[in-house]
Amino acid sequence: MEVAAGLCESDCAETGAQRPLPASSSGRPSARRRKSLRKIVLSIEIGLPYRMISWRAGKIMDDNTELPNSTSASAPGADPAQNLSRREFTPRAAAALTGIMLLPRHVLGGPGHTAPSDKLNLAGVGVGGMGAEYLKNLESENIVALCDLDSDKAAKTFNRYPAAKTYIDFREMLEKEKGIDAVVIGTPDHTHAAVAMAALQLRKHVYCAKPMTRTIHEARAVVKAAREAKVATQMSVQSCASEEACATAEWVRAGAVGEVREVHVWTDRPVWPQGLTRSDDAPPVPPTFAWDLWLGPAPARPYHPVYHPFRWRGWYDFGTGALGDMGCHTFHVIFQALRLEHPTRVQACSNFTMLPAYARSPGNCCFLT
């Protein structure tokens, strides 16, 4: 493991420790030692002939410096075998390692090659929509399992990863695929919590589409489970890491816009039919779609294409509307810039009703006031 010598300097500055430079007979560091200082290798375990470093104390160990945790020879009951200097330790370690050859990874796999053992085993749940886009950005890892309730809509993703095993029920997938490291969730809002909780209980890392959950209660439960599992979690709010978002937060914090008293955030959502009434008819469920599993924790109702695909965002039992769809992106920047806490009061109103159609023609507005 190679580290820049500059890291040692900054560490010493933080601890206040002095970093003496080993000198040659002329009082200046020799060329050999100057070179070794440029590339410091942590080599305590195998005793390679490089300089050693103690990060906590900010010291560089000389050839005659005793190894960490060694016992002083003058201490009562000291074991001489444990009191080794680096000069004594190196040949002994070299003898113990005779016959062992350590090869860089690129010798076996070529430059830039990542060994299969260094890759994560990922599973995708809900891979017919945004979940498919998430996986495309994770193709450097092993996509080992895919789960979707609509095999027709997810067909392209299934075909893209032929080596991955496919499932309809995520619970079955998690039960059978013991080697999964992380789960990528791209399902509708109302099943985010169910899938995430199941993965967290198995100590799997989780990447989840926004919003994290459909309800506040679910969000609190997922946060608690994630903390207990001590795994990595991430929500798909990519815009928050953009240069524009980070710069905006920095400007506001620096006082570039003065004191902020009020913030207005807007969006072009909804772009789906909203404010509709439930249909009385009950068309047959497509043979490639597991409607009962899709409902998940939502109240039971007959299948209708007004819910799936995509239009579920406009229904309270399945989605969170424009607020959950875009608020995670737009409000996050404000929270970061102003260092806001949880709100104490929320007021909501609506004076728009979306027409039950996407048709856009002259004189036919999509919204009614």
| 280 — pLDDT class (breaks 50, 70, 90) | confident
Same domain, 122 and 232: yes
Is the domain of 82 the same as that of 131? no
Residue 278 lies in a domain: no
State the average pLDDT over residues 114-125: 86
Note the pLDDT of residue 326.
Answer: 87
Judgement on whether residues 133 and 217 belong to the same structural domain of the protein: yes
Domain final residue, candidates 185, 202, 236: 236
pLDDT in tens, 144-194: 999 999 999 999 999 999 999 999 999 999 999 999 999 999 999 999 999
Whole-number pLDDT of residue 23: 43
pLDDT of residue 316: 85
- Give me the CATH number covering residue 182: 3.40.50.720
172 falls within a domain: yes
Measured CA to CA, the distance from residue 217 to residue 199 in angstroms comes to: 18
Tell me how far apart the alpha carbons of residues 224 and 112 are, in angstroms, rounded to a whole number: 39
Do 146 and 89 belong to one domain? no
- CB within 8 Å of 355: residues ≥ 6 apart: 273, 366, 367, 368
Same domain, 201 and 161: yes
**Whether 194 and 232 share a structural domain:** yes
How much is the pTM?
Answer: 0.65
Looking at residue 77, its pLDDT comes to 54
Domain count across the chain: 2
CB of 213 within 8 A of CB of 225? no
Task: Note whether residue 202 is domain-resident.
Answer: yes
Q: Which residues neighbour 160 within 8 Å (Cβ) at sequence distance 6 or greater?
A: 132, 135
Residue 240 scores a pLDDT above 60: yes
CA angle 62, 41, 10 (to 5 degrees): 80
Does residue 302 form part of some domain? no
Distance between CA atoms of 27 and 18, rounded to whole angstroms?
Answer: 17
Same domain, 181 and 145: yes
Residues 89 and 125 in one domain: no
Say what percent of the chain tops pLDDT 70.
63
What is the rounded distance in angstroms from the CA atom of residue 281 to the CA atom of residue 220?
37
Q: Concatenated DSSP letters for 290-307?
A: -HHHHHTTSPP----TTT
Asked if residue 270 belongs to a domain, the reply is no
35, 62, 96: which is the final residue of a domain?
96
Residues 135 and 32 in one domain: no
74 has a pLDDT exceeding 90: no
pLDDT at 112 over 50: yes
Domain carrying residue 26: 2-96
Residue 291 lies inside a defined structural domain of this protein:
no
Q: Does some domain include residue 214?
A: yes
Question: Can you give the pLDDT at residue 156?
Answer: 97
In 77-164, the DSSP E strands lie at 121-125, 142-147
pLDDT bucket at 93, cuts 50 / 70 / 90: low
Where do the DSSP E strands lie in the chain? 2-4, 39-41, 52-54, 59-61, 121-125, 142-147, 165-167, 182-185, 205-208, 233-235, 353-354, 367-368
Which of 86, 27, 35, 84 is CA-nearest to residue 62?
Answer: 86
Among residues 168, 199, 177, the alpha carbon closest in space to that of 293 is found at 168
Q: Is residue 191 part of a domain?
A: yes
Same domain, 122 and 226: yes
- Is 209:151 a contact under the CB 8 Å cutoff? no
- Among 66, 96, 126, residue at a domain's last position: 96
What does each C-alpha distance from 277 to 40, 188, 198, 299, 354 come to in angstroms?
Answer: 69, 20, 33, 16, 12
Query: Residue 123's pLDDT band (boundaries 50, 70, 90)?
Result: very high
Question: Which DSSP state fits 315?
Answer: S
Residue 7 shares a structural domain with residue 40: yes
Look-up: residue for tokens 């004076």?
351
